[in-house]
Amino acid sequence: MVTTGALIHGDRERFLRFDAAEHPLALQLGGSDPAELARCARLGEEHGYDEINLNVGCPSDRVQSGRFGACLMAEPELVAGCVAAMKDRVGVPVTVKTRIGIDDRDSYEDLCGFTRAVAAAGCDALIVHARKAWLKGLSPKENRDVPPLRYDVVERLKGDFPRLPIVINGGIGSLAQARAFLDRLDGVMIGREAYHNPWMLAEADKVIYGDGHPMPTRREVLESYIRYAEHQLAAGVPLSAMTRHLLGLYQGQPGARAWRRAISEQAHLPGKGTDLLRTAAPRA
């Protein structure tokens, strides 16, 4: 996620840079000015992004002060105008990530009104975090846990908007759970569980898509990541900026704690390279 202000006034190439292995890749934008969002959406498409997503779900105070994120759920017509402006400038899908409600605007009728507005503007898919957001009184972290999950609301929304692709998000911790949702919804977004336990995705092709190819080993995945990391190191990216995403690779395996400790304590040290990853990796 990057704000429109950062793209327009900041180091655009740094914010938009990515590796070809990351495709398909969405650029999530934070903003509420239709013209600025349209300009930034165009920049994203020109840089090769496969989708442009509008952030209407983040509840942090800083985001609210910039008039974007979850607070925009109170302004469905503005969000619709933002979607329409972006659709007018790009050929890639334009999607919206949102919540089921905010503060006291959390009725199903409010959610339907918001959905109706963005769908009419041409939104290609709605990704719904199945929790409301409290904009006052809860931190962003608490907003990911405290408001109860309401999967039933997202499923009901799909029933009332059958032609709009709807993706569910929030608290989904297994591929089996994801597979069950796909019987009723168009997609599943897994965030925290996939980050803390990335190996859960190793079976995704098999469980979700029926792919019969053999799974790679963790070591094979690590070696592939090391090749990527070496390329990024040569471009000036710090090792610690990449290794923090590897902390959960061996979760639940013997040696996982030593792996996490070695990375956490050494990756930021001057002169450390990818040899650290090979020596710290648990033995199969």
If asked whether residues 107 and 20 sit together in one domain, one would say yes
- The pTM assigned to this predicted structure is 0.92
Interval 183-203 mean pLDDT: 94
Buried b / exposed e along 150-175 (16+ C-beta atoms within 10 A): bbebbeebbeeeeebbbbbbbbbeeb
Partners of 53 in the β-ladder: 28, 95
Give the pLDDT of residue 66.
Answer: 67
For residues 50 and 162, state if they share a domain.
yes
> In the prediction, which pLDDT does 140 show?
80
Instruction: Tell whether the model's pLDDT for residue 254 goes beyond 60.
Output: yes
What confidence category does residue 68 fall into, taking pLDDT thresholds of 50, 70 and 90?
confident
pLDDT at 284: 57
Evaluate whether residue 127 is within a structural domain: yes
What's the CATH number where 234 sits?
1.20.120.1460
Is 101 or 63 the better-scoring residue by pLDDT?
101
Q: How many domains is the chain partitioned into structurally?
A: 2
Q: Are 184 and 171 in contact (CB under 8 A)?
A: no
Residues 262 and 280 sit within 8 Å (Cβ to Cβ): yes
| CATH number of the domain where residue 62 is located | 3.20.20.70
pLDDT at position 146, please? 87
Residue 219 clears pLDDT 60, i.e. is over it: yes
| pLDDT score recorded for residue 63 | 63
Whole domain around residue 156: which residue ranges?
2-170
Helix/strand/coil (H, E, C) string of the chain?
CEEHHHHHHCCHHHHHCCCHHHCCCEEEEECCCHHHHHHHHHHHHHCCCCEEEEEECCCCHHHHHCCCHHHHHHCHHHHHHHHHHHHHHCCCCEEEEEECCECCECCHHHHHHHHHHHHHCCCCEEEEECCCECCCCCCCCHHHCCCCCCHHHHHHHHHHCCCCCEEEECCCCCHHHHHHHCCCCCEEECCHHHHHCHHHHHHHHHHHHCCCCCCCCHHHHHHHHHHHHHHHHHCCCCHHHHHHHHCCCCCCCCCHHHHHHHHHHHCCCCCCCCHHHHHHCCCC
Within a 13 Å sphere around the CA of 169, how many CA atoms are in the beta-carbon half? 20
pLDDT, one tens digit per residue, over 92-121 is 999 999 999 999 999 999 999 999 999 999
Which stretch of 8-12, 22-26, 135-139 has the lowest confidence by average pLDDT?
A: 135-139
Q: Say what the pLDDT of residue 65 is.
A: 61
Tokens of 273: 């390279």
Give residue 94's pLDDT: 98
Q: Percent of the chain having pLDDT more than 70?
A: 98
Does residue 7 carry a pLDDT above 90? Answer: yes
Position 141 scores a pLDDT of: 82
Q: Residue 274: inside a domain, yes or no?
A: yes
pLDDT of 256 above 80: yes
Q: Residue 169: what pLDDT?
A: 98
Write down the catalytic residue from 58, 71, 82, 123. Answer: 58
Task: Tell whether 97 and 224 lie within a shared domain.
Answer: no
178 inside domain: no
User: Across the chain, what does the average pLDDT equal?
Assistant: 94
Q: Is the pLDDT of residue 89 over 90?
A: yes
Torsion sign across C-alpha atoms 170, 176, 178, 184 = negative
Q: Would you call 58 a catalytic residue per the annotation?
A: yes
Q: Is the pLDDT at 132 greater than 80, yes or no?
A: yes
**Whether residue 24 sits in one domain with residue 82:** yes
pLDDT band with cut points at 50, 70 and 90 for residue 139: confident
Are 154 and 50 in the same domain?
A: yes
Co-location of 29 and 141 in the same domain: yes
- Do 12 and 91 lie in one domain? The reply is yes
**Average pLDDT, integer, range 64-92:** 92
